[in-house]
Amino acid sequence: MVADLIIVPGGGLLADGSLPPWTVARLEAALALRTAEPILTLSAGSPHKPGNTISEAKAATAYLLGKGVARTDLLEENLSLDTIGNALFVRLLHTGPRGYRRLHVITSEFHLPRTQACFDWIFSAEGPDTGYVLTYQASPDVGLAPAAVAARQAKERAAIDLRAPERARLRTVDAIHEWLFTQHEAYAVGLQAKPVTDPLLLASY
């Protein structure tokens, strides 16, 4: 057993509601690694690509069920709209209540630096549940043209830099929760995140 819980962030859905190749690669990496650990799939969707009729987490668990994983070994997080929300809702909804402390996160290579920045921030924040140990694994960026990967990598780096002040300033779960629901464009009432319109970027959502 490599961890108490294997976590797989969502990676978008194709126009027909199916999983894109890079998300399948994440799930296959989880299956290859797993012995008896439960797998937690993440994400309602992305405000950068609205219009999904099924959550990314549900599509991912449907894939894992089709691969023979028992339903009792699967968990979903169906609320988050970005990687910060992924991490916070995992902690609030699953790892805190269930006592999971060793977490192994698998995501695409283009997504890994920001995923690690967000999860390290959220899971090191002061809160009632402590003692987390996180490990990370990259899966290949299959199904994306090199130009699309480069465009997404640039956007990911910009997002890491954009949230650096919050990562430095907000050091408790309560403070992060308050900021997310009062100031973050994807969650605060009356604010709205902008959809992605660049075709190169949109290819990776």
Give per-residue pLDDT as tens, 53-75.
689 999 999 999 999 999 999 99
Give per-residue pLDDT as tens, 73-126.
999 999 999 999 999 999 999 999 999 999 999 999 999 999 999 999 999 999
Alpha helix ranges (H) inside 14-145: 21-33, 56-66, 83-90, 96-98, 112-124
* Largest Cα–Cα separation, the chain: 44
Range of the domain at 63: 5-202
Name the domain count of the chain. 1
- Cβ burial, residue 129 (10 Å; 0-12/13-18/19+): middle
Question: 189: which 2 tokens?
Answer: 């009432």
Evaluate whether 125 touches 173 at the Cβ level (below 8 Å).
Answer: yes
- What are the backbone dihedrals phi and psi of residue 169, each rounded to the nearest 5 degrees, phi first? -90, -35
| CATH code of residue 55 | 3.40.50.620
137 three-state secondary structure: strand
pTM above 0.85, yes or no: yes
